[in-house]
């Protein structure tokens, strides 16, 4: 058995790319690589989900970051018959606490890029950036579901954003 270990210990003496290093360093590199390999392959205990929290953490309250509202149900309660015009039907939505216009669009499966296009022409008072909880936003959609307009109450009255033929928006009021 000692002869086999001695052969294993001197196995790297003839490896050409390790020639500039002394035998002690060669063996140290190989031992370090073996230790790293074993560390990566060693089975670890991973927590199974859901992770249970210790009893001491359960007493602490975590601040709520957002409240979830069903805007579709609220829309049906507040506005059962959406108004129509030549460019589509108007749908009314209420901004929830902490909700942004982009989140409102995401929650109702509307294209969020339209919000960014409207924000580029937002103008004075920034009515889209200053939305508050409980504020009403009306969105007009055509028969294909494309957003053709949006109206929101601004500091100086209602503000209307209308889609142009090229797909961009203008602030009409």
pLDDT value of position 79: 45
pLDDT value of position 98: 84
Same domain, 158 and 78: yes
Considering the domain boundaries, does residue 111 fall inside one?
yes
Same domain, 24 and 104: no
Considering the domain boundaries, does residue 158 fall inside one?
yes
Q: Domain range holding 10?
A: 2-41
The separation between the first and the last C-alpha atoms of the chain, rounded to the nearest angstrom, is 92
CATH of the domain at 139: 3.10.450.350
pTM of the model: 0.49
pLDDT value of position 35: 93
Considering the domain boundaries, does residue 55 fall inside one?
no
Cα separation values, 131 from 21, 26, 85, 126, Å:
68, 67, 25, 9
Same domain, 111 and 154: yes
pLDDT value of position 120: 86
Considering the domain boundaries, does residue 27 fall inside one?
yes
How many distinct structural domains can be found in the chain? 2
Considering the domain boundaries, does residue 58 fall inside one?
no
Same domain, 14 and 77: no
CA distance 166 to 71: 30
Considering the domain boundaries, does residue 66 fall inside one?
no
Q: What string of pLDDT tens digits covers the 173 residues of the chain?
A: 678 877 777 776 777 777 788 878 888 888 898 899 998 888 776 655 555 555 554 555 555 555 556 655 554 444 444 466 666 888 898 888 888 888 888 888 888 888 888 888 877 778 888 888 888 889 998 888 888 898 988 777 888 888 888 888 888 76
pLDDT value of position 60: 53
pLDDT value of position 123: 79
């Amino acid at each position: 058995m000692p002869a086999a270990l001695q052969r294993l210990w001197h196995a790297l003496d003839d490896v050409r790319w390790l020639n500039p290093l002394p035998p002690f360093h060669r063996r140290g590199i190989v031992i370090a690589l073996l230790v790293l390999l074993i560390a990566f392959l060693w089975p670890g205990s991973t927590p199974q989900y859901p992770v249970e929290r210790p009893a001491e953490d359960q007493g602490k309250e975590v601040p709520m970051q957002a409240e979830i509202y069903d805007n579709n149900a609220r829309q049906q309660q507040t506005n059962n018959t959406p108004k129509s015009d030549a460019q589509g039907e108007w749908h009314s939505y209420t901004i929830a606490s902490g909700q942004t216009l982009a989140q409102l669009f995401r929650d109702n499966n509307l294209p969020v890029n339209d919000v960014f296009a409207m924000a580029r022409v937002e103008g004075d008072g920034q009515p889209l950036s200053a939305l508050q909880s409980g504020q009403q936003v009306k969105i007009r959609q055509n028969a294909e579901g494309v957003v053709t307009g949006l109206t929101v109450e601004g500091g100086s009255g209602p503000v209307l954003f209308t889609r142009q033929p090229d797909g961009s928006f203008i602030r009409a009021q």
